[in-house]
């Protein structure tokens, strides 16, 4: 297991590839709040440090995304996971937050082996260490519910600059190679 030597106040990039592409959705993990999807209610406690990110950028990283597991928040359907060692390219939104906030977000996402317990070091981007989170092991594939898929589609088109057809193909294939 990799050990990371960071102070909680160290600035890092958190690279998001699923519903946290949406700044409104990611805000719940930082500040706290409630989300209701088709009658399913979830409360987010937020981070200990509720200061919002100081910068946000869109970048590409090697790998693929896929939908898997069964999320209670998303009606028992799949959520996005990242496979860093697969051929392909993943679009990620980078949020400049602190190391302590990243660890708090990871706890809220579900730190277990089958959720988001795997902290992936993506190297240095614009002078800061960059990390994402995913499952340790491949999760059984499970299509996302329409609400989750639409949240990501809206973030890809409205916040990340993709056209709608490219965004749909990206979610179907898990890689940008098939969108351009």
Q: What is the pLDDT of residues 10-45, one digit of tens each?
A: 999 999 999 999 999 999 999 999 988 777 788 999
What's this model's pTM, rounded to 2 decimal places?
A: 0.93
| Residue 68 banded pLDDT, cuts 50, 70, 90 | very high
Structure tokens at 168: 């749909």
* 39 or 176, greater pLDDT: 176
Q: Read off the pLDDT of each residue in 45-73 and give the average, rounded to a whole number.
A: 96
Distance CA 72, CA 78 (A): 9
User: Which tens digit of pLDDT belongs to each residue from 126-158?
Assistant: 999 999 999 999 999 999 999 999 999 999 999
Could you give the CA distance from residue 135 to residue 66 in angstroms, rounded to a whole number?
11
Over residues 97-134, the pLDDT tens digits come to: 999 999 999 999 988 889 999 999 999 999 999 999 99
How many Å apart are CA 128 and CA 81, to the nearest integer?
A: 23
Place of tokens 């392909």: 88
Which pair of tokens denotes residue 173? 């294939």
SS3 (DSSP) at 6: coil
What is the phi/psi pair of residue 4, to 5°?
Answer: -115, 130
Share of the chain above pLDDT 90, in %: 86
Res 179 pLDDT > 70: no
Query: Going by C-beta distance under 8 Å and a sequence separation of 6 or more, which residues neighbour residue 79?
Result: 18, 19, 67, 68, 69, 71, 144, 148
> Tokens in use for 66?
């896929």
- Give the per-residue pLDDT at 2: 58
């Amino acid at each position: 297991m990799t050990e990371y030597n960071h102070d909680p106040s160290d600035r890092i990039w958190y690279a998001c590839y699923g519903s946290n592409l949406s700044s409104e959705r990611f805000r719940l993990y930082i500040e706290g709040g409630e989300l209701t999807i088709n009658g399913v209610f979830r409360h987010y406690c937020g981070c200990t440090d509720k200061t919002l990110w100081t910068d946000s950028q869109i970048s590409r990283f090697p790998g693929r995304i896929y939908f898997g597991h069964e999320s209670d928040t998303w009606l028992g359907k799949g959520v996005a996971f990242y496979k860093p060692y697969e051929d392909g390219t993943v679009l990620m939104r980078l949020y400049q937050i602190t190391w302590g906030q990243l660890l708090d977000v990871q706890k809220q996402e579900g730190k277990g082996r089958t959720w988001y317990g795997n902290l992936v070091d993506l190297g240095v981007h614009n002078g800061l260490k960059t990390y994402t989170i995913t499952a340790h092991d491949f999760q059984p594939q499970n299509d996302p519910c329409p609400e989750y898929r639409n949240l990501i589609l809206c973030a890809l088109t409205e916040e990340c600059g993709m056209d709608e057809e490219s965004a749909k193909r990206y979610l179907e294939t898990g890689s940008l190679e098939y969108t351009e």
